[in-house]
Structure 1
Amino acid sequence: MTSEQPRDPIAVPAAGLILLVGVSGSGKSTFARQHFGGTEVISSDFCRGLVANDENDQSATKDAFDVLGYIVATRLRRGLLTVVDATNVQPYARSSLVSLAKEHDVLVDAIVLDVPEHVAIERNERRPDRTFGSRVVSRQRRDLKRSLGRTKKEGFRRIHVLRGTEEIDAAQIVRERPWNDRRDLSGPFDIIGDVHGCVSELRTLLTTLGWHIQVKDGAAVGASHPDGRQAVFVGDLVDRGPDTPGVLRLVMGMVASGLRCA
């Protein structure tokens, strides 16, 4: 990908989990600051500093990730976008975070920053707090390359790979609202349970609730409510009933007319 071929914006979940993946020196923290809010980013280095007063104290890594996991889980429970800034180059490091996303029923994306090894090494050498040498970066890069092909099977919704500094610098982030985020709907609502293919009973219920049934050639093909009420179907529309096609025809007509049935 060159600068003459701009990449489409990276679409991430507006409320979910994002894992930044890359070797030390790949620019994850800079990328996070550029594209996400300060409180949205949880850094493994920051958590290591919290528990050891030293962001580079590798002996504190386990405790640091315990703290990181707690913060991530709390934010996901509260419905907040959360970005994890850590190397995440090994499958086991990613798996625990993906599991947290699944436990909280949110989407999880990975953004991989893949820079040449010499670039990462040079960046680390310019930082006085990075004293671990080039061997660590080389090992991390091997781990990344070895596991990158398997990430599609790890439970990520999408994996965005940015290769080279130019592509990373040019990246744009857009946030996608989940399909089930319907906070724009304000009601009033009629909550309807299992229909099970019983179109006659559904028509009776809707009529009782004040809905006007639209009929074509003797079949119900839609419905509207004079007060602008919206129907929310929370049970099974089909299965066992005498007229499953009739139920689907009616409900699909309601959706098509803009009633935004859920």
Structure 2
Amino acid sequence: METPYAPGSLVVLIGSPGAGKSTYARRHFPTGRLCLDDFREMATDEAADQSATPTAAQIQNLLLDARLARGLTTVVDSTNVLPHVRAGLLARARYYQRPAVAVLFELPLADCLARNNARARQVPQNVVRELHQMTPTAEQLAAEGFASIRTIGLCEPARR
């Protein structure tokens, strides 16, 4: 499947739970999707077990390094709303001399909450609200050093 991203790119999905990041990743990237939820589930049999996040992050970073070293396009499918998380991803992309692309999911909070409520595994509403509020702007992402930023809104194919 063709994507609008240069081969070997690090594609960082950014947005609150319920924004459509995983749906977008599955549709556009049949391989190379790294998802903390999946790694938490592998470690504990429960994707929502936040106590497994350090282990999941280690697994993600190991696979991320392996893929970037080989020049393979890699998608980081998690909220990525925290600046220090994005800084670490950008540092890895720079180390391997790969372009870092941000895909920013800018959906209204009400839509994210509605999508979250329709899921089998729901994130607590207060967490969705907090992470939605922490979502950076495209301008912030550009200042951080992303090579390009794509914004996904309600009319984009991320919609379920």
The question of a shared fold, defined as TM-score above 0.5 by the shorter chain, is answered with: yes
**Secondary structure of 2:10 counterpart:** strand
Conserved 8 A contact 2:34-2:77: yes
Question: What is the aligned partner in structure 2 of residue 96 from structure 1?
Answer: 88
SS of 1:161's equivalent in the other structure is strand
How far has the Cα of 1:79 moved from its partner?
A: 1.3
Equivalent pair of 2:138/2:149 in contact (CA under 8 Å): no
Structure with the bigger RCO (C-alpha within 8 Å, sep 6+) is 2
- On the 8 A contact 1:15/1:80 being kept in 2, the answer is yes
Please show how residues 5-20 of structure 1 align to structure 2 within 5 Å: 11-20=4-13
Amino acid at match of 1:152: A
Equivalence for 1:117? 109
- 4+ runs deviating over 4 angstroms: none
Identical-pair percentage: 31
Report how many aligned residue pairs link the two structures. 157
Distance in 2 (CA, whole Å) between partners of 1:170 and 1:61 is: 25
| Unmatched 5+ stretches in structure 2 | none
Larger radius of gyration: 1
Paired residue for 1:144, among 106, 115, 135?
Answer: 135
| SS at 2:4 equivalent | strand
Q: Which residue of 2 aligns with 1:107?
A: 99
Structure 1 counterpart of 2:56, from 48, 64, 68: 64
Shift of 1:133: 2.2
TM-score (norm. length: structure 2): 0.90
Q: After superposition, where does 1:1-262 map in structure 2 within 5 Å?
A: 11-37=4-30, 39-130=31-122, 132-145=123-136, 148-163=138-153, 165-166=154-155, 168-169=156-157
1:21-47: CA deviation from partner (whole Å, max 9, x where unpaired): 11000001111111111x221111111
CA distance in structure 2 between the aligned counterparts of 1:82 and 1:170, rounded to whole angstroms: 18
TM-score normalised by the chain length of structure 1: 0.57
